[in-house]
């Protein structure tokens, strides 16, 4: 009778075989598939794991984005820049490469999709972890009477880094958190991000001068950093990836959700809107103007961003392209439809096939927090077999609110 170890080895071999068949079907192999699988089987039986080639890693990372059912921005999945950093194992080295990731991906404002893949988990335990949900994220300071200054979604992380020695920032609503990095051979370590790597966009409005007086801003580059990249049964727990923002992620979620910055009442009052009843649609009117401000500000700053109408059209192009290639597109309707004006976007008026796929981006192991990022709690620990798709967004939905994966 097979024991647990035999079952794990058989399961890993099966997942590896499935992945190599996929590589072969899409011409992403370095050598004959039979030879490669014989090599993988031998490696797994000897060590309990196996090592992807650079080509397999790059292909797997791109397909993981392609398989992200909650991402509207997958049209550009083949363009993902894959940085193979599996040799970098120290916390200091991971921090250094994360800073380089931010600079490379920002690209002078012309955001490019990038993923940096560090060492994989192994049979002896987990590999390195970045505990921040994104490389750049604002602090949430708890105050008297339950008052929070900053982002309420990061209060637990803020408490944790302060307990580890971070003195805190100036105490504004937009203080950037340090990175919290943990490796198998080191305790958790904190690293500040250099100012030149943290690009931010001041938010203004093309028609309302008072908008600038609100003092709002948001970071230009959303890099999800706590999700697990799974390729052929191998898991990479530190694999930060980015795309670019879709405006509604900032203007309809991060700055608007009541459990985030909750700015609609403040903006509505500046617009002199009647908030005595919802029938005045004051929320809708304030929401539209906030989204106008976000898109206009990014455009004026020369930073890539997309709107939800354009991205919906691009998603349908992605569907047509994938169907032409003979592939089904996993898609979660509740995440693909934008949070603003959903009914007037073409993605609203159709059904989608939502199924689990591999390679994939998986939720982080249970850490007591909740990617994207914000709202949804992590779903349990690492386990064998496919995990549920995370509520994330990457790229044209990178998911500050863990909130949806649209371009990594």
Residues 28, 29, 33, CA angle at the centre, nearest 5°? 135
Measured CA to CA, the distance from residue 90 to residue 185 in angstroms comes to: 8
Contact between residue 75 and residue 306 where contact means Cβ atoms under 8 Å apart: no
Measured CA to CA, the distance from residue 182 to residue 71 in angstroms comes to: 28
Q: How would you classify the pairing of strands 241-242 and 223-224?
A: antiparallel
Sheet containing 228-231: which strands, arranged edge to edge?
234-236, 228-231, 360-362
Of 64, 135, 133, the closest CA to residue 362 belongs to: 64
Q: How would you classify the pairing of strands 305-306 and 245-246?
A: parallel
Contacts of residue 231, defined as CB under 8 A and 6 or more positions apart, other chains included, come to: 19, 52, 56, 57, 60, 61, 64, 358, 359
Known binding positions for heme: 71
First vs last C-alpha separation in the chain? 43
Measured CA to CA, the distance from residue 39 to residue 234 in angstroms comes to: 16
Dihedral sign of CA atoms 75, 224, 367, 87 in order: positive
Measured CA to CA, the distance from residue 235 to residue 310 in angstroms comes to: 34
Measured CA to CA, the distance from residue 153 to residue 134 in angstroms comes to: 12
Please list the active-site residues.
Answer: 71, 74, 244, 249
């Amino acid at each position: 009778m097979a024991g647990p170890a035999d079952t794990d080895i058989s399961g890993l071999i099966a997942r590896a075989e499935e992945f190599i068949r996929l590589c072969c079907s899409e011409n992403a192999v370095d050598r004959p598939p039979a030879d490669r699988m014989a090599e993988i089987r031998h490696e797994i039986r000897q060590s309990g794991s196996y090592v992807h080639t650079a080509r397999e890693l790059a292909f797997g990372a791109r397909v993981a984005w392609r398989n992200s059912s909650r991402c509207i921005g997958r049209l550009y999945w083949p363009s993902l820049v894959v940085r193979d950093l599996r040799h970098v194992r120290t916390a200091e080295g991971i921090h250094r490469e994360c800073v380089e990731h931010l600079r490379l991906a920002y690209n002078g404002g012309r955001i490019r999709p990038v993923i940096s893949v560090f060492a994989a988990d192994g049979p002896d335990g987990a590999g390195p972890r970045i505990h921040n949900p994104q490389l750049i994220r604002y602090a949430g300071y708890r105050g008297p009477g339950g008052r929070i200054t900053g982002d309420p979604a990061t209060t637990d992380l803020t408490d944790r880094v302060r307990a580890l020695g971070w003195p805190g920032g100036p105490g504004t609503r937009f203080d950037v958190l340090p990175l919290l990095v943990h490796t198998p051979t080191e305790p958790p370590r904190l690293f500040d991000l250099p100012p030149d790597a943290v690009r931010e966009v001041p938010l203004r409005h093309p028609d309302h001068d008072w908008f600038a007086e609100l003092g709002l801003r948001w970071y230009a580059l959303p890099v999800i950093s706590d999700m697990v990249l799974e390729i052929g049964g191998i898991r990479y727990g530190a694999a930060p990836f980015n795309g670019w923002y879709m405006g509604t992620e900032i203007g309809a979620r991060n700055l608007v959700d009541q459990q985030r910055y909750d700015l609609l009442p403040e903006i509505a009052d500046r617009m002199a809107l009647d908030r005595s009843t919802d029938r005045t649609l004051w929320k809708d009117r304030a929401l539209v103007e906030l989204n106008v401000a976000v898109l206009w500000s990014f455009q004026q700053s020369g930073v890539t961003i997309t709107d939800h109408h354009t991205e919906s059209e691009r998603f349908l192009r992605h569907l047509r392209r994938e169907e032409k290639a003979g592939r089904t597109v996993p898609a979660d309707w509740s995440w693909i439809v934008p949070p603003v004006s959903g009914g007037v976007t073409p993605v609203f008026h159709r059904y989608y096939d939502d199924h689990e796929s591999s390679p994939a981006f998986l939720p982080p192991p249970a850490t007591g927090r909740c990617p994207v990022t914000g709202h949804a709690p992590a779903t349990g620990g690492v386990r064998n077999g496919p995990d549920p798709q995370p509520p994330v967004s990457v790229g044209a939905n990178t998911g500050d609110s863990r909130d949806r994966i649209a371009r990594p």
